């Protein structure tokens, strides 16, 4: 009788489509393991959350020479190595965490969903996993984008308050520690879990976001030292609305992709497109209208890294 009660699921279009999709993934997985088709190493877009990674990813993904999922896959990467396997240390991963089977698992995952080709991936936790990814994919290209810390941190604060959209419990499950951030306004972390996160479980929101921003960008700059310069592309968020064509033309050229008229037109209009589900179109110094007092409080903490990234104190 139980089987009869579930027969309606076989008629549900969404369930049928999901089952067919999963069957296709299974067959492609078998084919992958049987034939091991050659796949080039991926292109990874990385950066702190709210630093322009999405608009950068979407712009580069417009090139037909690349294959992309259109969404982030933190659960997949954490499934290879993450909090549930490292004692809730963080969502970071290092070279020693890379296993040969992880490369095969990633290439198989992409092949199942995208077929054979050069993959473009954007998953924000990967800014803390660059040594790991480089060990798995020594010929990968890494596109790192950074943003003025004041604006980036302010945007993250807005995101933390954005109806729980970025809460980590939806991906990681319940946190094993008591979280009481910003006088217990938040009982869960948002965006990503950096190394040392436990020390900030009772900090103010601006301190938490400043720590996330510093950790993400510091780990990227440390990785830059050992990744060959030919495989490293560094971008500034502010160029998205100040000089988008000049920003992206060399990116496509370095990827070996012709910067044709359609791509140039797309780039030229980036500043007029909404790029955020939190606060709309790009704009410099948004922090002065959102969270100004909080940003002023953490400015001395972030100033050294701001200077290192080329942002003058104005």
Note the pLDDT tens digit of each residue in 42-71.
999 999 999 999 999 999 999 999 999 999
The range of the structural domain enclosing residue 297 comes to 38-164+217-308
Instruction: Compute the radius of gyration of the chain from its Cα atoms.
Output: 21
pLDDT value of residue 11: 54
pLDDT value of residue 135: 98
Residue 61 inside a domain? The answer is yes
The answer, yes or no, to whether residue 287 has pLDDT greater than 80, is: no
Percentage of residues of the chain with pLDDT beyond 90: 77
Residue 206 inside a domain? The answer is no
Quote the tokens at residue 190.
Answer: 């948002």
State the burial class of residue 136 (Cβ atoms within 10 Å of its Cβ: 0-12, 13-18, 19+): buried
Distant-in-sequence, close-in-space partners of 130: CB < 8 Å, separation ≥ 6: 46, 142, 219, 220, 223, 227
Average pLDDT estimate for 155-161: 94
* b/e sequence 95-108, b meaning 16+ C-beta within 10 Å: eebbeeebbeebbb
Residue 286 inside a domain? The answer is yes
Quote the tokens at residue 13.
Answer: 């279009």
Residue 60 inside a domain? The answer is yes
Residue 15 inside a domain? The answer is no
Average pLDDT estimate for 119-131: 97
pTM as predicted: 0.90
Looking at every residue in the chain, the average pLDDT score rounds to 90
Residue 186 inside a domain? The answer is no
Distance CA 171, CA 296 (A): 32
Residue 203 inside a domain? The answer is no
Picking from 184, 241, 190, 222, the residue whose alpha carbon sits closest to that of residue 305 is 222
> What is 241-259 written as a DSSP string?
HHSHHHHHHHHHHHTT---
pLDDT value of residue 163: 75
Bridge partner residues of 143 (DSSP): 45, 233
Q: What's 245's domain CATH number?
A: 3.40.50.300
Query: What's the structural domain count of the chain?
Result: 1
pLDDT-based confidence at 263, cuts 50/70/90? very high
Residue 88 inside a domain? The answer is yes
Distance CA 122, CA 241 (A): 21
């Amino acid at each position: 009788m139980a089987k009869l009660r579930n027969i309606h699921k076989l008629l549900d279009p969404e369930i049928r489509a999901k089952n067919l999709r999963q069957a296709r993934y299974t067959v492609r997985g078998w084919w992958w393991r049987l034939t091991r088709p050659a796949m080039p190493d991926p292109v990874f877009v990385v950066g702190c959350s709210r630093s322009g990674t999405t608009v950068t990813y979407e712009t580069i993904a417009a090139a037909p020479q690349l294959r992309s999922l259109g969404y982030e896959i933190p659960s997949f990467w954490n499934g290879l190595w993450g909090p549930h396997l490292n004692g809730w240390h963080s969502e970071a991963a290092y070279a020693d965490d890379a296993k040969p089977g992880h490369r095969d698992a990633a290439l198989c995952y992409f092949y199942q969903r995208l077929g054979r080709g050069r993959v473009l991936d954007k998953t924000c936790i990967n800014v803390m996993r660059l040594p790991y990814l480089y060990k798995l994919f020594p010929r990968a290209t890494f596109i790192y984008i950074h943003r003025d810390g004041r604006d980036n941190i302010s945007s993250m604060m807005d995101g933390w308050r954005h109806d729980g959209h970025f809460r980590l419990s939806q991906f990681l499950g319940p946190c094993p520690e008591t979280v009481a951030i910003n006088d217990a306004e938040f009982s869960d972390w948002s965006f990503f879990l950096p190394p040392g996160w436990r020390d900030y479980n009772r900090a103010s929101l601006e301190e938490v976001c400043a720590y996330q921003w510093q950790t993400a960008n510091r780990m990227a700059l440390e990785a830059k030292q050992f990744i060959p310069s030919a495989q490293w592309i560094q971008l500034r968020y502010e160029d998205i609305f100040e000089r988008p064509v000049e920003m992206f033309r060399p990116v496509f050229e370095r990827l070996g992709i012709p910067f044709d008229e359609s791509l140039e037109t797309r780039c030229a209009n980036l500043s007029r497109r909404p790029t955020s589900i939190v606060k709309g179109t790009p704009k410099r110094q948004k922090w002065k209208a959102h969270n100004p007092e909080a940003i002023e409080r953490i400015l001395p903490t972030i100033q050294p890294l701001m200077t290192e990234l080329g942002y003058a104190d104005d």
